[in-house]
Amino acid sequence: MTVLTHTASGWTIGTGKPLSVIAGLNVLEDEGLALEIGTELKRICAALGLPYVFKASFDKANRSSIKSYRGPGMESGLKTLASVKAKLGVPICADLHEPGQAEPVAEVVDIVQIPAFLCRQTDLVVATAKATAAAGGIVQVKKAQFIAPWDTKNIVSKIGEAAEVGVILCERGSSFGYNNLVVDMLGIAEMQKLGCPVTIDATHAVQLPGADPRTAGASTGGRRDGVSIIAKSAIAAGADGVFLEFHTDPDKALCDGPSCLPISDAEGLLTTLKAVHEVVAA
């Protein structure tokens, strides 16, 4: 049985526990929007009895174009995340990109996320593990689009050698030809064999990298209607948690709008995912 508990908040994920939810915005736009999305998701998860973490990025360093919106940056972004955390009373998840960011991020963020493209960067992995362990947090690693599920054992091993800290692995699809991703649902069980809970990033799994027709390929496209399909399939395959991104108006989102869902869809989708998870757990 693999269960992780965030000591400060009591948030749990793993075998025998309710479906865990990590959800919010793709990237911070302003505090008002973050609070609006977080408040609604907290309400829904509380009503459904699902452990909830608010997520948002302060910087999206991996962008198709230098002109793409990246976010407010670390200093301003961490202030916003700390404010959201205090006002909502929920744990926070955010990603980082450089080893020097590890300590300041871990001071605010409860689940520190290593992006998929950076999950093999040893210096980043080690710094994140050490800083997150010292702060009492949990590390979530996005599985890269270019590695096999079982090869995440090397990342888990690096983290374990650097510090004693809980690790979540996140499935987000694998590169499949040009401008496309697919999710191998068998990979979820393979990663769970490493002793880690596994989440499904259903939002990024429907991306079409470099294929947004609105910008002639200068940004990432997506298939929004596939998010619920990927999420339901992964939970049916045994995933311990779900990672989702919402917006009040996805078509006007400053980053990855084609892949995120309207917040009005959240309650129906999470209700369905809870039901699927309970059937699988039974």
3-state secondary structure string across the chain: CCEEECCCCCCEEECCCCCEEEEEEEECCCHHHHHHHHHHHHHHHHHHCCCEEEEEECCCCCCCCCCCCCCCCHHHHHHHHHHHHHHHCCCEEEECCCHHHHHHHHHHCCEEEECHHHCCCHHHHHHHHHHHHHHCCEEEEECCCCCCHHHHHHHHHHHHHHCCCEEEEEECCEECCCCCEECCCHHHHHHHCCCCCEEEECCHHHEECCCCHHHCCCCCEECHHHHHHHHHHHHHCCCCEEEEEEECCHHHCCCCHHHCEEHHHHHHHHHHHHHHHHHHHC
Q: Which residue in this structure is represented by tokens 């992006």? A: 115
Candidates 117, 118, 96, 114; CA nearest to 105 is 96
**Residue 210 has what pLDDT?**
61
Give the tens place of pLDDT for each residue, 233-254. Answer: 999 999 999 999 999 999 998 8
50, HSE (Cβ side, Cα atoms, 13 Å): 30
Whether residue 41 is predicted with pLDDT greater than 70 in this model: the reply is: yes
Fold entry, domain 3-281: TIM Barrel (3.20.20)
**Residue 113 has what pLDDT?**
98
What's the chain's length in residues?
Answer: 282
45, HSE (Cβ side, Cα atoms, 13 Å): 24
Whether residue 24 is predicted with pLDDT greater than 70 in this model: the reply is: yes
Higher model confidence: residue 220 or residue 70?
A: 70
**Residue 27 has what pLDDT?**
94
Whether residue 218 is predicted with pLDDT greater than 70 in this model: the reply is: no
**Residue 258 has what pLDDT?**
80
**Residue 221 has what pLDDT?**
63
φ, ψ of residue 163 in degrees (nearest 5): -165, 160
Whole-number average pLDDT of the chain: 93
Give the tens place of pLDDT for each residue, 179-213. Answer: 888 999 999 999 999 999 999 999 998 877 664 55
> What integer is the mean pLDDT of 202-226?
70
Whether residue 178 is predicted with pLDDT greater than 60 in this model: the reply is: yes
User: Lowest mean pLDDT: which of 107-121, 133-147, 149-163, 250-264?
Assistant: 250-264
**Residue 63 has what pLDDT?**
65
* Beta strand 261-262 pairing with 241-247: parallel
139, HSE (Cβ side, Cα atoms, 13 Å): 33
> What integer is the mean pLDDT of 155-167?
98
> What integer is the mean pLDDT of 218-235?
84
**What share of the chain in percent tops pLDDT 70?**
94
What CA–CA distance (Å, rounded) separates 63 from 117? 12
**Residue 201 has what pLDDT?**
96
Q: Which residue in this structure is represented by tokens 């800083």? A: 131
* Beta strand 92-95 pairing with 52-57: parallel
Which residues are catalytic, by number? Answer: 26, 60, 256
Whether residue 170 is predicted with pLDDT greater than 90 in this model: the reply is: yes
Higher model confidence: residue 12 or residue 71?
A: 12
What value, to the nearest 5°, has the Cα angle with vertex 62 and ends 230 and 12?
50
Name the token pair of 141: 């690693």
**Contact of 52 with 23, CB cutoff 8 Å:** yes
**Contact of 65 with 249, CB cutoff 8 Å:** no
What CA–CA distance (Å, rounded) separates 188 from 170? 9
